[in-house]
Each structure stands twice: as C-alpha cells, then as structure tokens.
C-alpha cells in the first residue's frame, strides 16, 4: 500500500537557525501537500505542489517537489518561535480518488 | 462557513461500550476523511468518502470500527465494542474533489478506560 515517510522525526533548533524536513513516498504522487499542526491543534494546510520539480515559497518557507514526484522537502529559513509544531507532508494519489495519505511528521522545537 | 465540525470534543468511556463520533463537513465539499492520530502511529487514514460513498476503508483497523455517511452534511464513526487501544484523537476532514486541500475539524479526543 501507499506509505509516506518523513525525516527527521524530531528537530530541535536555536531561534534563527534553518530547518529542513524531507518526505518520501513509496509510489508516485499526483500532488504533495504540506500541513502544520500546533501542539494540541489540528493540521492546517500550508501549500500544495503539483508539477514535477516545482518550487514554491511562502515568506521564510520553501517547498520543493521532486522530479520523480515521489519526494518533497520543506525548508524554513531563520526559524522563529512561532514555527514550533509538527510539519506533515501528505501525498495525494490522484484525480477521482482524492486519497490523501499523511507522512509521519517532523516535530520542530525552537529554542529562543 | 463554520468549518468542519466534530462532536464530541472529548469522550471518556469504559471498555466494551459503544462510541459514536460525529462530523459535519464544510458545505459543498465532496470528500470526507476520517483520520486517527496517536504518538506511535501518527495520522492514519481510516476511511474516506467521495459523494457520500465509501471509497477506501482499508485503514479501518478491524470490524469493531464502522463509518457511515448518510448524506452530504453528516458522517459518523462508530466503535463497538471499544478497547483501551482505541484511545486517540480522531479527526474528520473534508475537501473538494480534484486534489484540493483538506480542512480538518478540531478532533475528538477519545479515552477508553
């Protein structure tokens, strides 16, 4: 079946340092979505990537979708304490099925 | 729109009891997902519906779990009988068809003692 793995599981950084999380799917994806979940909260959509090799930016966040559409990454430049939370990628398996499988998540802790 | 609405927010029940979780998706959305979140297993997709029809229930752990979507504005996830290992946060999410973002409810924290 489809599986989506993320590394690392946990990352602790000093405020101002950069952070990257990586996502890998066992099968080719239709699209990749990224979500952020604050402690005690629910996942909130950040962005969707659809095209092979696509790169998108949101302020200090940079998202990439691999050429083979099986992997993705999220990079945060100069982390802030507000970045704390768990970042999930979610693999979309396409079209009429609309199936969305979440990755294992990366918990980011930022020390002021 | 108030977003995806789940009830109850918290549920504590004794082992062996029946538990019913409820979800009202965003009006106009065609897809509805049920996820279970635990520390050990992360966010697991249990089942999802397109246009009220169950498409994939391969994530449903066992026969004790069942889900229904009788109409476009309501879905239930039932556990009968409940067991302590079912303790988790259960999320409902909805989206439009065509690979669009999923909107999550606040979740139901279930504790089975």
Q: Residue range A85-107: average pLDDT?
A: 87
Which residue in this structure is represented by tokens 């629910």?
Answer: A42
- Tell me the C-alpha distance between A33 and A52, whole Å: 13
pLDDT digits (tens, 9 = 90+) for A2-28: 789 999 999 999 999 999 999 999 999
Phi-psi region of A82 (alpha: psi -120 to 50; beta: other; left: phi over 0): alpha
- pLDDT score at B1: 65
Within 10 Å of residue A89's Cβ, how many Cβ atoms? 31
Q: Give the 3-state secondary structure of residue B97.
A: coil
Cβ(A112)–Cβ(A16) below 8 Å: no
Q: How confident is the model at residue A95 (pLDDT cuts 50, 70, 90)?
A: low
Cβ(A62)–Cβ(A77) below 8 Å: yes
pLDDT digits (tens, 9 = 90+) for A22-71: 999 999 999 999 999 999 999 999 999 999 999 999 999 999 999 999 99
- Tell me the C-alpha distance between B66 and B33, whole Å: 13
CA angle B34, B38, B43 (to 5 degrees): 45
Q: Residue range A69-91: average pLDDT?
A: 97
- pLDDT score at B5: 98
Mean pLDDT per 10-residue run, chain B (113 residues)? 92 98 96 94 93 93 94 97 97 86 96 98
Tell how far CA B35 is from the center of its chain.
Answer: 6
- Give B56→chain A minimum CA distance, Å: 8
- pLDDT score at B2: 80
pLDDT digits (tens, 9 = 90+) for B6-34: 999 999 999 999 999 999 999 999 999 99
Q: How confident is the model at residue A99 (pLDDT cuts 50, 70, 90)?
A: confident
Cβ(A28)–Cβ(B88) below 8 Å: no
- Tell me the C-alpha distance between B5 and B32, whole Å: 12
Q: By CA distance, what is A94's nearest residue in B?
A: B99
Which residues of chain B does A42 touch, with a Cβ-Cβ cutoff of 8 Å?
91, 104-107
Asked if pLDDT for residue A85 goes beyond 70, the answer is yes
Q: Residue range A90-105: average pLDDT?
A: 82
- pLDDT score at B95: 92
A33 and B101: CB-CB below 8 Å?
yes
Q: Tell which wins on pLDDT, A81 or B40.
A: A81
Q: By CA distance, what is B42's nearest residue in A?
A: A104
Q: Residue range A74-84: average pLDDT?
A: 98
Q: Which residues of B touch A (CB under 8 A)?
A: 30-31, 33, 35, 42-43, 45, 48, 50, 55-56, 58, 91, 93, 95, 97-107
- pLDDT score at A97: 65
Give me the residues of A, 36-95, that contact B with CB < 8 A: 42-45, 48, 50, 88, 90, 92, 94-95
Cβ(A72)–Cβ(A87) below 8 Å: no
């Amino acid at each position: 079946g489809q599986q989506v793995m993320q590394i690392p599981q946990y990352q602790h950084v000093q405020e101002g340092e950069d952070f990257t999380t990586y996502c890998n799917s066992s099968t080719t994806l239709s699209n990749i979505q990224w979500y952020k979940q604050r402690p005690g909260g629910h996942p909130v959509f950040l962005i969707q990537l659809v095209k092979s090799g696509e790169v998108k930016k949101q302020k200090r966040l940079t998202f990439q979708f691999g050429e083979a559409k099986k992997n993705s990454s999220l990079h945060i430049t100069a982390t802030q304490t507000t970045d704390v939370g768990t970042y999930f990628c979610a693999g979309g398996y396409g079209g009429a099925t609309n199936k969305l499988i979440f990755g294992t998540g990366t918990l980011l802790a930022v020390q002021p | 729109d108030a977003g995806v609405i789940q009830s109850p927010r918290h549920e504590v029940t004794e082992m062996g009891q029946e538990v019913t979780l409820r979800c009202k998706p965003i009006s106009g959305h065609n897809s509805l997902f049920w996820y279970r979140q635990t520390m050990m297993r992360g966010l697991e997709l249990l089942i999802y519906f397109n246009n009220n029809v169950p498409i994939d229930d391969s994530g449903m752990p066992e026969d004790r779990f069942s889900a229904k979507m009788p109409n476009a504005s309501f879905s239930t996830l039932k556990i009968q009988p409940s067991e302590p290992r079912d303790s988790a946060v259960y999320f409902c999410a909805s989206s439009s068809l065509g690979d669009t973002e999923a909107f999550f409810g606040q979740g139901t924290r279930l504790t089975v003692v």
